[in-house]
Structure 1
């Protein structure tokens, strides 16, 4: 079976739509339809039922999903391992959201190089949606993200819980409005809690979707914003930032996601334990 057929099948399952699957795969809708027709002919069973409301899996499609996921994952592992340079036994593909690479995953890489020097690492950065798709397709072995989606065959565990604290480049109380407030979009849960805590807040002049960009702006030009304590702790100690007196704190959990595989090798469990250990050093009660 052509591996592209399995990939196409999984994209339709994830998007629920032939058109969206075609966009993700950078092919035409007719190509997607032809691939699914070829797959159904090969299996001898219909896999999807299409309607105005979207695309639904048939009973056979639900059965095949698990096998398709395994096929793609095994293919990607084989492709990576066959391309390994001498001296390495395998490659570990890990992905994380940008904010979680800062300190957390960056510190885990040297831990891995010391603990398992014969395991090559391939690191990716992406959004939660992108990382989940790569995990489903077998392109990633593990992912670290803020908003994972529950999917069959994937294990999700809480890795750490970040404290988002309000900091400023000057000493101030929360009652004093800062015209240079930078609103960082830390996700839907944060947006809801932030709106509830500050119902009368004026629309900030600067709003960003990337925490690192917001922090760089505040440090360079002055201002106030919510950032993870693990990221700003060194700036607080150095006197470059100050916690805003009386400001509410928000919690933001981060999760570790990987495939459920009872046959995985010991080195993978060691890698997970290392990530948990590094996260424990960053975790805040």
Structure 2
């Protein structure tokens, strides 16, 4: 069976629209219809019904869903496992939240290489939503993220915590901040919930970002006030150009290790998890 058929089926199960799936996969609608027809012919069952009310999966479509996800994941894992890794015995693709890379990527990769000295590592920086999608599809082997997604076939473990601190080149106290000099940050859903409570009057700030490195760059260039990672805050305060803002609470951010459900007991994945946990805790 061609993997493209399953990819098209899975996307259509999500969109419930032949037009939308065609757009998302950069295909014509007739190609989408043709692939679904081929899959239905192969299985001998209708997978979707189309009417004025829209496209709806049939009972057979729902029964195929979990199998299709598993087949796609296994195919992508198999494809990557046989691709050339040069002189290395295996390759590991790791997704990492953007903000974690700025202060942890070197230590973590060093830890990974101690666990698997004969492996080639590819590290991709991304956000939690995309990493979850890539884990489901088998495009990455594991991820370290801020926001676990309640998706089938994904396994998450809480492995530690970071924190963000508010610093400023202009304000001494939380009540002194002027909206035009504030950089509104949204690093994760959990951070955003607490952040908005702290700075409810600053939500309409003219600048905003979801990456620590970007916010640090903006502060260094323009001055102003913002939350940044605690390690970054300490470095910037040490320059003498910034101070911690009094009255602004430290905002914690949980960190999660995520893998496909099939790999939750894998010896290799567990060893990599423990390496990350030790690095995060400073052990």
Partners in 1 of 2:232 and 2:252 — Cα distance?
14
Aligned in 2, Cα 1:120/1:220: closer, same or farther, shift over 3 Å? same
Structure 1 moving runs of 4+ over 6 Å: none
Partners in 1 of 2:280 and 2:64 — Cα distance?
36
Farther off after superposition, 158-167 or 32-41: 158-167
- Alignment correspondent of 2:140: 140
**Equivalences for residues 168-207 of structure 1 within 5 A:** 168-169=168-169, 172-178=172-178, 179-201=180-202, 203-207=204-208
Q: How many corresponding residue pairs?
A: 282
2:223 is the counterpart of 1:222: yes
Task: Note the alpha carbon deviations across 1:77-128, whole angstroms, 9 max, x for none.
Answer: 2222222334322211111232222223443112112321211112222333
Aligned in 2, Cα 1:242/1:43: closer, same or farther, shift over 3 Å? same
TM-score by length of 2: 0.86
What SS does the corresponding residue of 1:88 show, helix, strand or coil? coil
Once the 2 structures are TM-superposed, how far is the Cα of residue 225 of structure 1 from its aligned partner?
A: 0.1
Once the 2 structures are TM-superposed, how far is the Cα of residue 249 of structure 1 from its aligned partner?
A: 3.1
Aligned in 2, Cα 1:50/1:187: closer, same or farther, shift over 3 Å? farther
Aligned in 2, Cα 1:170/1:70: closer, same or farther, shift over 3 Å? same
What SS does the corresponding residue of 1:96 show, helix, strand or coil? strand
What SS does the corresponding residue of 2:130 show, helix, strand or coil? helix
Partners in 2 of 1:144 and 1:3 — Cα distance?
28
- Alignment correspondent of 2:276: 275
- Alignment correspondent of 2:29: 29
**Preserved CA contact (<8 Å) 2:147 2:189:** no
Once the 2 structures are TM-superposed, how far is the Cα of residue 170 of structure 1 from its aligned partner?
A: 5.2
What SS does the corresponding residue of 2:92 show, helix, strand or coil? strand
Farther off after superposition, 19-28 or 209-218: 19-28
**Preserved CA contact (<8 Å) 2:177 2:225:** no
Partners in 2 of 1:239 and 1:263 — Cα distance?
46
Structure 2: give runs of 5+ residues left out of the alignment: none
**Preserved CA contact (<8 Å) 1:69 1:138:** no
What SS does the corresponding residue of 1:95 show, helix, strand or coil? strand
Once the 2 structures are TM-superposed, how far is the Cα of residue 55 of structure 1 from its aligned partner?
A: 4.7
Partners in 1 of 2:28 and 2:127 — Cα distance?
25
What SS does the corresponding residue of 1:200 show, helix, strand or coil? helix
Task: Note the alpha carbon deviations across 1:101-156, whole angstroms, 9 max, x for none.
Answer: 22234431121123212111122223333222211211111122223321111112
Task: Note the alpha carbon deviations across 1:184-242, whole angstroms, 9 max, x for none.
Answer: 22244444433333333373232224332111110223211011214433334454532
Partners in 2 of 1:216 and 1:58 — Cα distance?
52
Once the 2 structures are TM-superposed, how far is the Cα of residue 4 of structure 1 from its aligned partner?
A: 0.9
**Preserved CA contact (<8 Å) 1:7 1:137:** no
Aligned in 2, Cα 1:61/1:202: closer, same or farther, shift over 3 Å? closer
**Preserved CA contact (<8 Å) 1:157 1:255:** yes
Aligned in 2, Cα 1:200/1:61: closer, same or farther, shift over 3 Å? same
Farther off after superposition, 238-247 or 219-228: 238-247
Q: C-alpha root-mean-square deviation of aligned residues, in Å? A: 2.7
